[in-house]
Amino acid sequence: MSIPRSMTPPAARSGPRGPHGPRGSHGPRSVLLAEHEPDVAEMSARYLRRDGLVVRLVTTPEQALAELTQGQDAASCFDLTVLDLTMPGLDPRRIRRALRTPVIFLAAGPQGPRPRGLSRGPAGPRRWLTRPFGPRQLVAMTRDVLAEASRAPVGADRASADRASADRASADRASAGKTAGRAGGTLRLTPAESAILAALLEQPGRVLSRRQLLAAAGRQAAGDRAADVYIAQLRAKLGAAGKAGAIRTVRGAGYVADP
């Protein structure tokens, strides 16, 4: 059951106290929080409100879709969606079509399944937060996503930039396995190598586990050793192109592309 707006703590109703700040005449930033576990939902909502955000809490996929789709431009009333992908009955395809905001996906864990097709989209930043997570982690990621979204172009310029970004991403995927020019040499990547490299370069500075890299390549059933093999092959090809240090090993965690 969602928390009525009237139950919002006084501190949250009095205006933003966190780093987000107001949106001019539109007031503080707003978040749609869709989380089906009551304890997690209430704790997350409490911390987000304490950080100065207006939170609309829902606990079912139907409620989330209703909030995202009601009215002609309902999604514009939210600055960010936090979506629990483990909600029973959730249809990722319907969610993907409805999303018009930046989003944080709450996933089942680093090795849990992630619905395909959700990592990209024209709605701004998209991040993944895996369970178990603490409310402070969610607040920190929310700050990052809102800050990144606020730096993006607005209005028609934002839409054009998003479309161009999506077009570039599609072109990158389509060129997987073909010859790609790089400073200092030429790379010829297999589709799996290209997908893994793209996953690393899309999130520079973020450590990705072997499971995450294999999922990006569509090789979830492969063992962790397969990720090491792909990375070794990539490093060999990057080395030939003068970019051998682009991928760094983080012991016990995975791999990272340095910014």
First to last CA, the chain: 42
* DSSP designation for 2: P
Residue 188 backbone phi and psi in degrees, to 5: -120, 105
pLDDT digits (tens, 9 = 90+) for 117-146: 565 555 677 888 888 888 999 999 999 999
Half-sphere exposure (CA, 13 Å, Cβ side) for 253? Answer: 9
Instruction: Supply the pLDDT for residue 131.
Output: 83
Domain 5-157 identical in fold to domain 177-257:
no
Instruction: Supply the pLDDT for residue 109.
Output: 67
Strand, helix or coil for residue 155: helix
Instruction: Supply the pLDDT for residue 10.
Output: 36
Instruction: Supply the pLDDT for residue 48.
Output: 96
Instruction: Supply the pLDDT for residue 110.
Output: 60
Separation of alpha carbons 219 and 167, rounded Å: 25
- Which residue is listed with tokens 């999303």? 99
Q: What is the pTM of this model?
A: 0.51
The CATH homologous superfamily for domain 5-157 is Response regulator (3.40.50.2300)
Instruction: Supply the pLDDT for residue 34.
Output: 95
Q: Which CATH class is domain 177-257?
A: mainly alpha
Q: Token pair for residue 219? A: 């090789």
Q: In a structure prediction context, what are the per-residue pLDDT tens digits for the chain, which is 259 residues long? A: 444 433 333 333 333 344 454 443 346 889 999 999 999 999 999 999 999 999 999 999 999 998 888 744 544 578 999 999 989 998 878 887 888 889 999 988 665 556 665 655 556 778 888 888 889 999 999 999 998 887 755 444 444 444 444 444 444 444 433 334 443 445 678 888 888 888 888 888 888 898 889 888 888 777 888 889 989 988 888 876 666 567 889 888 899 987 6
**Where are the chain's structural domains?**
5-157, 177-257
- Three-state SS annotation for 52-94: CCEEEEECCHHHHHHHHHCCCCHHHHCCEEEEECCCCCCCHHH
